[in-house]
Structure 1
């Protein structure tokens, strides 16, 4: 087996775990099924992760990173601040439409963590990560345009995390693209209404 840097090997095993869990479900995914998916030995897994909690945290962070990257790329100055915000939501939604199995897995991970004694902190970390992600996106937007929020960044971040979490689950259950688009339009309008826009950044 070719030698690989630890960070790359962890990434390989995490992506394999995501595929296996999305296919088989979290409770039915074993360490052996993950290494089989990755094509590595069991000893490699234990070298990379010292616990199942560590693996699941890596899975949560990696799934989040999958769609955060496309959202960051989509957030660039447009004709209005509202259009910029809506483009970010659309990039997220395009990822939901293209990878519904990953987003479904996030809900299963939450439920699994809440039901497993000793794993509860992973569910908390998952939702803290969502809010932290929105805080970072707000800061990215501030780097492009100067504006003042009518609410604290952290409050808006938690609101956006809750809204997108809800609309994603609603879509996974009902599968109605039109309804999802209408909700994202409304969220964009609401967020734009919470911003007092000032002069563009130089």
Structure 2
């Protein structure tokens, strides 16, 4: 049997870890159970990941990528900024409704990292990644739709990350999607109110005409 590239093995093991942690919880998931879930030997796991920290960081990044992929596909520029932002949120909530266990896992990973000595930096990295992701999406929209914000991009990105984080946890507890979408509509309107059009560019004067 042909040996798979290391990067492909890491992806395989990361997805297996997400399934195992979603099913069994983070503390009860072992390297042996992840290897079994992926259908590989324990030695392959240790070849791909030299520590549990490295595995958890890969899990956090991969789960975030799952959401970002569907949002980025949905957040193509529409007739108004509000419609564009709402489409992105709608795609996110569709993913949350379809994969509640995966979203629940993100909170368990945060708590695990904060409680486990030596893992605290993973919780910090997790929330930095959320803000970085929103900042990237906002910068992409600014470039494609041509607008300026009345607040710094990083401030708005942090606000959206905090809003989504809290709203997702509320959704997982209450499973009231309509209430969540009503809040999303409020946030969407607020974000649109922070936008101002770019000032028109002044024409650059051309060379003076030659005397006739």
Question: What TM bracket, shorter-length normalisation?
Answer: over 0.9
Q: 1:177 maps to what in 2?
A: 177
The correspondence of residues 9-158 of structure 1 with structure 2, limited to 5 A, is 9-158=9-158
- How big is the shift at 1:199? 8.1
In 2, Cα distance between equivalents of 1:150 and 1:163:
19
Higher relative contact order (CA 8 A, sep 6+): 1
Report if aligned partners of 1:6, 1:48 keep a CA contact under 8 Å in 2: yes
TM-score by length of 1: 0.97
In 2, Cα distance between equivalents of 1:197 and 1:88:
21
In 1, Cα distance between equivalents of 2:65 and 2:197:
29
- How big is the shift at 1:47? 0.5
For the residue of structure 1 that corresponds to 2:146, the secondary structure is strand
Q: What does the per-residue CA deviation read over 1:32-65, in whole Å, with 9 as the maximum and x for residues that have no partner?
A: 0000000000000010000000000000000000
Report if aligned partners of 1:131, 1:158 keep a CA contact under 8 Å in 2: yes
Q: 1:186 maps to what in 2?
A: 186
- How big is the shift at 1:139? 1.3
Report if aligned partners of 2:142, 2:148 keep a CA contact under 8 Å in 1: no
* Structure 1 outlier segments of 4+, above 6 Å: none
Which runs of no fewer than 5 residues in structure 1 stay unpaired? none
Which runs of no fewer than 5 residues in structure 2 stay unpaired? 201-212
Q: What does the per-residue CA deviation read over 1:96-116, in whole Å, with 9 as the maximum and x for residues that have no partner?
A: 011001000000000000000
- How big is the shift at 1:12? 0.1
* Larger radius of gyration between Structure 1 and Structure 2: 2
In 1, Cα distance between equivalents of 2:183 and 2:197:
23
TM-score by length of 2: 0.92
